Amino acid sequence: MKNNIKKVFVGLSGGVDSAVSATLLQKDGYEVTGVFIKAWTPEGYPCSWKEDRRSAMRVCAILNIPFITLDLEKEYKKEVVDYMIAQYKVGRTPNPDVMCNKEIKFGHFLKFALKNGADFVATGHYARVFPLLNQGEGDAKRGVRLMEGADKNKDQSYFLWTLTQDQLKHILFPIGHLQKSEVRKLAKKFNLPQAERKDSQGLCFLGKVDMKEFLSRYMPPQIGAVLDLEGKKIGHHNGALFFTIGERHGFTITKKSNKEMPLYVISKNIKKNTITVAPQHFGRPSKMLVKEVELKDINLIGKISKKDLLCRIRYRQEKISCRIEKDKVIFDKPQMGISPGQSLVLYDGEICLGGGIIDSTSSL
């Protein structure tokens, strides 16, 4: 019987979600090892990684399981932080959480676990995986379906669209079928010290620092003009690189009209260091409305059998009706606030089908 016990390395962040995940897996008969992933922290910013690591160690002590610290500081800096900065420098809006999952948690961590004898890795993500058998193709063609977490307020499938079938067959999400309130109750039931602990930040320094302030360390602020729809200067900003399409804060308007309505960034010119803004009213300016986007770095988790789908372009956004044609996604209704670099994630109901990086947009 002992040879049939599956080994799982659980990524312990120090928070309640991963602590309960490890406990549930142990109770289900897995041979569990706790792993704390040490990420990169910039100098001068507060980060609770030492406290988080101690919290993760406490879980392992309570469960009487091995504890490992996996130092991925260099990899995190290069593949998450440097990527994010490089994308902002060319005027794009990246999602570092997507890259963290792709490169760190289910990249280096997964490879480390499998190399050291694990059958699976597990995390406290709110998502679900279901093994499937493609009828008529035999056991060798088994696939895995990625689905939203049962708790729609906590669902994290949006950040997992880069996962492949080869990765998913080695991944477990033990709390994906639970509500957050149920996870807290289980933590109390299991006498875990994390029961009352605040949720940990996936990117600790970004959770406590203004993004523009952080980026200014690597991209010096440069005063530029704010333009209206007619190209007239109506204000100034500290750098077009720091703005994303749809943003309405962070710039100064010096020439205000009688109709002082909120203004939104509808475009930016990185070479000229200008941003163009417009009010969201009277049917909205057509330049703010995007009808279709072109994707790059597309990853499809499973076969897409129909063109009419749903998608999200940001976390926890209400799903948008769309259709997909090769590398293009066409929205049923034009959308606002879309910027190249963002992740577009495709869904069929609760099933996450994969996604891609928005490479370009087409307005009305």
Q: pLDDT tens for residues 237-249? A: 999 999 988 888 8
Q: Which amino acid is at 21?
A: S
What is the torsional sign of CA 208, 340, 314, 276?
positive
Tokens of 195: 């029961």
pLDDT at residue 75 is higher than 50: yes
Tokens of 107: 């990249």
63-75: average pLDDT: 97
- Buried/exposed code over 92-105 (b: 16+ C-beta within 10 A; e: otherwise): bbbbbbbbbbbbbb
111-129: average pLDDT: 98
pLDDT at residue 140 is higher than 70: no
Query: Residue 124: is it exposed, middle or buried by C-beta count within 10 angstroms (0-12/13-18/19+)?
Result: buried
At 39-60, the pLDDT tens digits run: 988 877 777 889 999 999 999 9
The pLDDT, as a whole number, for residue 305 is 82
The pLDDT, as a whole number, for residue 284 is 54
Shortest CA distance to 287 belongs to which of 273, 275, 302?
A: 275
At 311-337, the pLDDT tens digits run: 999 999 999 999 999 899 999 999 988
Q: Are 91 and 268 in contact (CB under 8 A)?
A: yes
* pTM recorded for the entire structure: 0.90
Residue 302: pLDDT band (50, 70, 90) is confident
Active-site positions?
Answer: 100, 204
SS3 call for 356: strand
Q: Which amino acid is at 199?
A: D
Q: Are 76 and 105 in contact (CB under 8 A)?
A: no
Greater confidence (163 vs 202) lies with 163
SS3 call for 233: strand
Residues 6 or more apart whose CB falls under 8 angstroms from that of 153 comprise: 180, 316
Q: Are 148 and 130 in contact (CB under 8 A)?
A: no
Shortest CA distance to 40 belongs to which of 220, 213, 194, 202?
A: 202
Tokens 């080994």 sit on residue: 7
pLDDT at residue 189 is higher than 80: yes
84-103: average pLDDT: 94
pLDDT at residue 120 is higher than 70: yes
Q: Are 313 and 329 in contact (CB under 8 A)?
A: no
- From residue 193, how far is each of 15, 21, 186 by CA, in Å? 9, 14, 11
Phi, psi of 11 (to 5 degrees): -75, 110
Residue 129: pLDDT band (50, 70, 90) is very high
Helices (H), the chain: 16-27, 49-63, 73-76, 82-89, 96-99, 109-115, 165-168, 180-189, 211-215
Residue 223: pLDDT band (50, 70, 90) is very high
Give all domains of the chain, ordered by start, each with its CATH number: 2-124+174-196 (3.40.50.620), 220-279 (2.30.30.280), 289-363 (2.40.30.10)
Picking from 33-37, 92-96, 267-271, 301-305, which range would have the lowest pLDDT averaged per residue? 301-305
Residue 131: pLDDT band (50, 70, 90) is confident
The pLDDT, as a whole number, for residue 238 is 95
DSSP bridge pairs for 310: 321, 347
